Homo-oligomer: A and B are copies of this chain.
Amino acid sequence: MVNVTKTFLPPLEEYQNLLKKIWENEWLTNRGQFTLELEEKLKIYLGLDNILITNNGTIPLQIALKLLGNNGEIITTPFSYVATTSSIIWENCKPIFVDINEDFLTIDETKIENAITPNTTAILATHVFGNPCHIEEIEKIAKKHKLYIIYDAAHCFGVKYKNQSIFKYGTISTCSFHATKIFHTGEGGAIISNDKELTKKIYYSHNFGHDGPLNFHGLGINAKISELQSAMGITVLNHIDTILKKRKEVVDYYNTNLNLNKLKIIKIRENTEWNYSYYPIILSSENKLLEVQKELNIHNIFPRRYFYPSLNTIKYVNGEKMPISESISSRVLCLPLYAGIDSSDLKKIVSIVNKTIC
């Protein structure tokens, strides 16, 4: 069986070596040795001044919205994983959708200003499949209208834009370290802020607002990651170069061998060092997609309809029509992509897709 993704697991011995230290330390959470060590290693690897790792990739969105959203309207994209929208609603803000650019698949920056009202407090945009939004234009709009920018960078581990980490843009960026991601901690995530005062607030917020055991700085929640997860991150990080190299090989193979005259792939923005996180193909119609999916399934290959559905169409969300996002969502299929996928499987996938779209 070939799934859309497969969790990278480091050699068991490497993880077990760190486990021994956890047993020696007798310390399993609340910013233990490995959590601190992983943060330091990630700062170096990604070239960041700060990063706070958390128990998953959604809680950083919640913290960001609690600190910056102020119960207001949040301009956002309908083409993302559900967490982007559900966090807005969960945190008592209102999602205001803006349709996407059909090539880059990111929020259409030219349509943002139209959606701004006196109640708008922030823009929450997703760097879709690791592909950066139009950062300069969004910054300009945010500055003009005094809005915060939150980037859902769940897919962006290792992505660089204009020679620096993509996490360095926006007021806050969030990332996911879920098991299906390039870099992972089983479950996990991170929050990165580019504002010193805000960085402090985020830190307090992630541990109940504690300022020492007896005092409280302000409102908080539990976003702490366990040492079991951080140790996983450390061992995965040791292999990140190999992971990225192998994923690039798969992407190169698809790019070279798929019939790109008959299907569309994502256009990566200029000045981007991409991370080969997903391989979405956009078919000519939903029926064609279902046909391709069915053929692959017959051969025990399981791509994923992702992102589907367009978030504005979810029942409890009930947003305005977003024609481009709805159209793309109905036709996009992510092909299997992971370090270590068999070349014979890749061949089979390409052959089935090419045959079906002809």
Tell me the A residues contacting B by CB distance below 8 Å: 6-7, 9, 12, 15-16, 19-20, 23, 26-30, 55-59, 62, 66, 82-83, 86-87, 89-90, 92, 178-179, 184, 186-187, 208-210, 213-214, 216, 218-222, 224-229, 232, 304-305, 308-309, 314-316
List residues of chain B with CB within 8 A of the CB of A179: 27-30, 226
Q: Are A12 and B19 in contact (CB under 8 A)?
A: yes
User: How far apart are the CA atoms of A55 and B228 in the complex, in Å?
Assistant: 12
User: How far apart are the CA atoms of A184 and B26 in the complex, in Å?
Assistant: 13
Most-contacted residue by chain B among A12, A90, A214, A304 (CB, 10 A) = A90
User: How far apart are the CA atoms of A20 and B224 in the complex, in Å?
Assistant: 26
User: How far apart are the CA atoms of A66 and B90 in the complex, in Å?
Assistant: 8
State the 9 A-B residue pairs at the shortest beta-carbon distance, nearest first.
Answer: A186-B226, A28-B179, A58-B222, A228-B228, A28-B186, A187-B226, A56-B222, A29-B187, A92-B92
User: How far apart are the CA atoms of A87 and B90 in the complex, in Å?
Assistant: 13
Cβ-closest chain B residue relative to A226: B186
Q: Are B26 and A7 in contact (CB under 8 A)?
A: yes
A183 to chain B, nearest CB (A): 13
Most-contacted residue by chain B among A19, A209, A210, A221 (CB, 10 A) = A221
Q: Are B55 and A56 in contact (CB under 8 A)?
A: yes
List residues of chain B with CB within 8 A of the CB of A184: 28
List residues of chain B with CB within 8 A of the CB of A222: 56-59, 83, 187
List residues of chain B with CB within 8 A of the CB of A309: 214
Contact of A58 among B23, B57, B221 (CB under 8 A): B221
User: How far apart are the CA atoms of A57 and B224 in the complex, in Å?
Assistant: 11
User: How far apart are the CA atoms of A221 and B224 in the complex, in Å?
Assistant: 16
Q: Are A86 and B27 in contact (CB under 8 A)?
A: no
A98 to chain B, nearest CB (A): 21
Known contacts A213-B304, A226-B228, A228-B186: A220-B86 contact under CB 8 Å = yes
Contact of A216 among B7, B209, B316 (CB under 8 A): B316
List residues of chain B with CB within 8 A of the CB of A227: 186
User: How far apart are the CA atoms of A181 and B228 in the complex, in Å?
Assistant: 17
List residues of chain B with CB within 8 A of the CB of A209: 82, 86, 316
Q: Are B315 and A216 in contact (CB under 8 A)?
A: yes
List residues of chain B with CB within 8 A of the CB of A20: 12
User: How far apart are the CA atoms of A186 and B220 in the complex, in Å?
Assistant: 20
Q: Are A89 and B26 in contact (CB under 8 A)?
A: no
**Can you name 28 A-B pairs with beta carbons within 8 Å?**
A6-B26, A9-B26, A12-B19, A12-B20, A15-B19, A16-B16, A16-B19, A28-B179, A29-B179, A29-B187, A30-B179, A55-B187, A57-B222, A58-B221, A82-B208, A86-B208, A90-B219, A186-B226, A186-B227, A186-B228, A214-B305, A214-B309, A216-B315, A216-B316, A218-B315, A218-B316, A226-B226, A226-B228
List residues of chain B with CB within 8 A of the CB of A216: 82, 314-316
Contact of A229 among B219, B228, B304, B305 (CB under 8 A): B228
Q: Are B89 and A225 in contact (CB under 8 A)?
A: no
Most-contacted residue by chain B among A62, A225, A228 (CB, 10 A) = A228
User: How far apart are the CA atoms of A340 and B282 in the complex, in Å?
Assistant: 60
Q: Are B6 and A186 in contact (CB under 8 A)?
A: no
User: How far apart are the CA atoms of A89 and B225 in the complex, in Å?
Assistant: 23
Q: Are A228 and B232 in contact (CB under 8 A)?
A: yes
User: How far apart are the CA atoms of A209 and B81 in the complex, in Å?
Assistant: 12
Q: Are A83 and B208 in contact (CB under 8 A)?
A: yes
